[in-house]
Every structure is written in C-alpha cells, then in structure tokens.
Chains A and B, each alone.
Chain A
Amino acid sequence: MNRYFKAEILGNLPLNINNNLLTLFPLEPVFDPKPGQFYMLEVSDSCNPLLLRPFCCLRKTPENMQFLFTVRGTGTALMKEFRKGQVIHLIGPMGNGYPEPLKGCTPVVIAGGTGIASLFSFIESTAGTCRVIYGAKTKDELLMLDELRKAETTLTVCTNDCSFGEEGMVDQIFMNFLRSNESLRSSCVLYACGPRPMLKTVAAIALDNHIKGYASLEENMACGFGACLGCVVNTVKGYKRVCKEGPVFPIEEIVW
C-alpha cells in the first residue's frame, strides 16, 4: 500500500461554473480513506504553483476515487484544466477523519458550501441515522443533492439568497431543529465542515445546548503529513496540526 501514489484522471466533470467533480483511478495499491480524511493533490508538475493542495475525498470505491473542488485560485484553476488520461501524484489518506458515531447517538451533520465534500462519505456511512443540514450561498452552489437524497437521511437544504430550500443560514436551521426535537437533543452529536465563521456559530450553538461535536478545519498547508508545522490551529491544548491531529477536532478544543 502506498501513501504517495500516482493516479490517472478518469473524468473532470463541471457541476456548475465554479465546481468540478474529479474522478481518479489510483495506479498503485492504496489505503481506503476514513470519512473526513484528506489527500494532497499535485496540481502542476512545474514549480509554479509549488505546493500540493489538500482536498477531502468525496468517495472512494474499488474502481475510483472522487474529489469535489471549487475554483478559488491558481491551483484550482489548473485543476479545472485536468484532462482525462492525465496522471497526477497524490499523498493520502491523511489526517484523523471523523470519529465513528457511538450507538444510539444522532449525528447532526452541518455542511456549508464545499464542506459537503468532507462530510459526504460520513453521511453515506451513517445513512438512516443522521440528520443533514446543508447550506450554500445560492442554489447553484448546492452540490451532490441527488446523491444525498439517495442516502436515506433526513436532509434539510437552505440557501443564503433563498433561491432553494429553506430560507436562511444553517445555524438558524440548526436552532430550529433543536427547538422542535427536544427529546433528541441529548443524543445529538454535531459533525460540521464549512467556512470558519459558520463553524464558529454552529459550534457555539452546540456547546450552549450541551451537545458534543466535531468540526473539520482548514489551514494553509505545505506537506500534509506533519513535517512542515505550517498548518497549526490554536486549541485549548496548544497549537495542533490540521494535517495530523486534525483536520477534525472536538469543538470544545478549538480556540475559535
């Protein structure tokens, strides 16, 4: 099994103007990722841009692995140009991933924007028991909806501009959910990934309601495997590496 491996690009499907679904075929024996683990993807074989880019694995099957990405800068702009047949290097799976939910608990999954990529396989693995709240700025930015509906889960979708689903932001939906599900509250465990301000808000709501939870964080990263010490976040136990001790941290440990 190799943690640094080559993979061939099988497809790079534009889902909308900014988001693509990348499908790769590993050319070497590789490990299976746990939900929430991530990979470093080589975006160029030149030295500009220099660094690999971290992405959570959306899904891995025996045949292929998929990544969801949003075009944000130079690296992801190059990824949009990935063509079928091209071969790239990857490092992974890296990081800790989401802890498996204990028996009897109700996972409440909150995803914002492309945060869904990190949580998608977690949702699939806990199908039937988890409640999913998924928000994006606009209808166009809601991704993988059909797939999520197939996952036999309670799905609530919302958009900031009210173009689809419920009105408002995920934190309001979360509060409404807690208000109308008093009996479930004690068994709820939060699993969240999305923009930092969103995470901060939903973590505060969870902690106020004595709900345990986990958030997957992002930080600039050079290596992805614990060597550069570049990706630390501040926690109550000091600086922790997103790539090694994270990316998933208990919400009460993060210094927001």
Chain B
Amino acid sequence: MIDLSVNIGRLKLKNPVMTASGTFGYGEEYAEFVDLNMLGAIVVKGISLKPMEGNPPPRICETPCGMLNAIGLQNVGLKQFLKEKLPYLRAFDSRIIVNILGNSVKEYVKLAGALDEAGVDGIELNVSCPNVKKGGIIFGTDKKALAKLTARVRLAVKHSILITKLSPTVSNIAEFGLIAEENGSDAITLINTIPGMAIDTETWIPRLANITGGLSGPAIKPVAVKMVWEAFRAVKIPVIGVGGIMNVRDAIEFMLAGATAVQVGTGNFVRPTATGEIAEGLWTYLEKKGINNLKDIIGGVNGASTNSNSDN
C-alpha cells in the first residue's frame, strides 16, 4: 500500500502537494481544472488586514524560462476572506493554509489570531514579498525582526500550524530557518521569488511598472533546490520546497533535497491541472521505484548529505 501522506508539524497532509501563495487565487479559480480534494493543502493568496489594490500595470513580464511579477499583494482583506472565500474552501477535503502579510508585528499578530480562531489548518507568514515597500521583506532579511515576529505570532496561534516563508535574498538561508524554528515555527517554506528586473531595449522603459519584480518559474529551480537542501540540513522542522516546480520530477527533486512537502506556483499558470497531476505522479513514481512510503525519499539525495534529519 503506497502512502503519500506527510506531516507538517501536527498537521497530516494526504499528500505533499500544495499550491504556492499568490498563484492559486482563493482556490475557486482552479475548481474547473483540478479536483481540489486531491491536494495536500491549498495555500491561498496572501491576506492583509485591509484589502489591498496592488501595483499599477504592467505587473508581469515573461523572461527566459520564467516570469517577473510585481502584483503588489492585491487581496480582498481579512474580513472578506473570512466571509466569502474561506466558506468556499471548507467544502473541500484539503487542508487550508492562509498566507498572511502585514506592516507591523501587531498586524501579523491580529491576522494570525483571527485566522487561528476561524479554524484554518495553517498560517504561513509571508516575510519575503519583494514587491511592496512594507511587504514583510524587512522581517525576512533581518534576524532580530524575524525572531520577534515569529515568537509573537506563535503566541497568538493556538490551533493552526505556523509556517514561515523565507526570502532567498539572504546570505545564509539556514540561519533564517533556524531562527524560525527556535521561535516556534512548525515548518519553513522556501523560496519566495528572487528579485529581478527587465528592460525594454526599444523604449528603454522597465518592463514592469514597479520597475523590479520577483522572478519565478523553472529559471529559479536550481537556486531553490540548493536552499531547500541547505535548510534541511540545518533545521529539524519540515521544509516546504517551492520554486519552479512544473511536474512530478521537479517535486521529487525537491523532496530528495529535503522537502517534506512542495508548493506549485508559476506551474499552475502554464498547466492549470499541474497540482493534481503531480499528486498522481508521485504515486506512480513510488510504485515504479518499489517504495511504499513517500516519507522515505525525503532528503534522500545520494552523496550530498552530511547530516540526516530523522524528524521528517
């Protein structure tokens, strides 16, 4: 009997396939493409206390094997999310994880407390959005700020699991993973998009109105795999891998590097059925390899491990 389930803290997922925040709307946008019951967890678009209108267009542009985006955290805000979006998601047999963002520790605490009370399965702290001035990146790149934020939010979260989504724009991802762990995170997600820029050589104008944006897609996958591998070796809590996952082979690669679960982001845009296909593909992969338990492959990369992690 093949077992695809994985545990993120005390939360059991039927399989490790999640959606990456900001690429899956509030789930409903994908309902006619994917059976949402097939997903390990749905991570919804980042929520702030008040609705946010986002950045002016153009907000995205394509780059080799990837894309830049500067959406600017457009979202419906906490109130509307709880009233309209959450009830819809509850109808599905999939875990609900809500990505949150704020301008201050106080805002994060308020959001986390309200969502915890509403009974969401997980809260993902966005401390790494590169596209707004106060999008949390300060918390993701300053060790003291991250420690304080994580610890305070931890106190507000009683039932949901707490995940910290890390920024790749730090010199040592392992250190930031450890800070999240020491201050009460149940898991870490990495990586968020990598800051980037593109210029139109005819008009000499930046291709995004925001000038810079976040790079995602297959172009960033090797960077993400390396950071997942580094973080996995440093922390005991589960690592959730994200960055350029397009298909089941990519998901396996992240798990071999140490990811307990994976998030599909830009891949959803290109192939809206990607998440369901990856969940099915994992089963087929294990069957072909003669492996019964998916957990057995986590961190299984050969010849690269110096520190095993038995807690996953």
| Interface presence of B54 (CB below 8 A) | yes
Chain B, 24-41, CB within 8 A of any chain A CB: 24-25, 29-30, 32-33
| Interface presence of A184 (CB below 8 A) | no
Contact present for B58 and A228 (CB under 8 Å): no
Contact present for B57 and A4 (CB under 8 Å): no
Chain B 155-170 interface mask (CB, 8 Å, partner A; 1/0): 0000000000000000
A220 to B3, CA, bound (A): 41
A4 to B31, CA, bound (A): 12
Decide yes or no: A51 and B59 within 8 Å by CB, A222-B266, A228-B71 being known contacts: no
Contact present for B33 and A3 (CB under 8 Å): yes
Q: Which A-chain residue is minimally distant from B221 (CB atoms)?
A: A47
| Interface presence of A151 (CB below 8 A) | no
- Considering residues B24, B30, B246, B269, which has the most beta carbons from chain A within 10 angstroms of its beta carbon? B269
- Considering residues A48, A91, A219, A238, which has the most beta carbons from chain B within 10 angstroms of its beta carbon? A48
Contact present for B24 and A47 (CB under 8 Å): no
Distance of B88 from chain A, by nearest CB (Å): 14
Contact present for A227 and B25 (CB under 8 Å): yes
| Interface presence of B183 (CB below 8 A) | no
Contact present for A222 and B60 (CB under 8 Å): yes
Which of B24, B57, B61 touches A234 (beta carbons < 8 Å)? Answer: B57
| Interface residues on chain A, number (Cβ under 8 Å) | 27
Specify the main secondary structure of chain B where it touches its partner. loop
Q: In the complex, identify which listed stretch (B62-70, B100-108, B174-182, B296-304) lies at the interface while the others stay far away.
A: B62-70
| Interface presence of A206 (CB below 8 A) | no
Chain A 130-148 interface mask (CB, 8 Å, partner B; 1/0): 0000000000000000000
Residues in A with CB closer than 8 Å to B60 are: 220-222, 228, 230-231
Chain A, 220-243, CB within 8 A of any chain B CB: 220-223, 225-234, 238-239
Distance of A196 from chain B, by nearest CB (Å): 12
| Interface presence of A85 (CB below 8 A) | no
A4 to B270, CA, bound (A): 11
Which of B25, B33, B65, B271 touches A48 (beta carbons < 8 Å)? Answer: B65
Contact present for B71 and A50 (CB under 8 Å): no
| Interface presence of A49 (CB below 8 A) | yes
A52 to B33, CA, bound (A): 16
A220 to B53, CA, bound (A): 18
Chain A, 45-95, CB within 8 A of any chain B CB: 47-52, 89, 91
Chain B, 271-299, CB within 8 A of any chain A CB: 271-273
| Interface presence of B305 (CB below 8 A) | no
A232 to B270, CA, bound (A): 18
A239 to B76, CA, bound (A): 13
| Interface presence of B56 (CB below 8 A) | yes
Decide yes or no: A50 and B266 within 8 Å by CB, A226-B29, A231-B57 being known contacts: yes
Chain A 190-225 interface mask (CB, 8 Å, partner B; 1/0): 000000000000000000000000000001111101
A221 to B246, CA, bound (A): 18
Contact present for B23 and A227 (CB under 8 Å): yes
| Interface residues on chain B, number (Cβ under 8 Å) | 34
| Interface presence of B217 (CB below 8 A) | yes
Contact present for A220 and B217 (CB under 8 Å): no
Contact present for A230 and B246 (CB under 8 Å): no
- Considering residues A3, A52, A91, A239, which has the most beta carbons from chain B within 10 angstroms of its beta carbon? A239
Contact present for B33 and A239 (CB under 8 Å): no
Q: Which B-chain residue is minimally distant from A233 (CB atoms)?
A: B57
A223 to B62, CA, bound (A): 12
Residues in B with CB closer than 8 Å to A49 are: 62
Q: Which A-chain residue is minimally distant from B32 (CB atoms)?
A: A3
Decide yes or no: A225 and B29 within 8 Å by CB, A49-B62, A51-B62, A234-B57 being known contacts: yes
Residues in B with CB closer than 8 Å to A226 are: 25, 29
A127 to B244, CA, bound (A): 48
A89 to B277, CA, bound (A): 15
Chain A 1-33 interface mask (CB, 8 Å, partner B; 1/0): 001100000000000000000000000000000
Q: Which A-chain residue is minimally distant from B63 (CB atoms)?
A: A50
A238 to B53, CA, bound (A): 8
Decide yes or no: A50 and B217 within 8 Å by CB, A220-B61, A223-B269, A230-B69 being known contacts: yes
Contact present for A47 and B74 (CB under 8 Å): no
A234 to B60, CA, bound (A): 15
| Interface presence of B5 (CB below 8 A) | no
Distance of B128 from chain A, by nearest CB (Å): 18
Decide yes or no: A47 and B71 within 8 Å by CB, A222-B269, A239-B53 being known contacts: no
Residues in A with CB closer than 8 Å to B56 are: 234, 239
A-B contact pairs, 29 of them (CB 8 A): A4-B33, A4-B273, A47-B270, A48-B64, A49-B62, A50-B66, A50-B217, A50-B270, A51-B62, A219-B57, A220-B61, A222-B67, A222-B69, A222-B269, A223-B268, A225-B29, A225-B33, A225-B272, A226-B29, A227-B23, A227-B29, A228-B69, A230-B71, A232-B59, A234-B57, A238-B53, A239-B54, A239-B56, A239-B74
Interface residues of B (CB under 8 A from A): 23-25, 29-30, 32-33, 45, 53-54, 56-62, 64-67, 69, 71, 74, 217-218, 246, 266, 268-273
The 7 A-B residue pairs with the shortest CB-CB distance, nearest first, are A230-B60, A223-B269, A227-B29, A227-B25, A222-B269, A47-B218, A47-B65
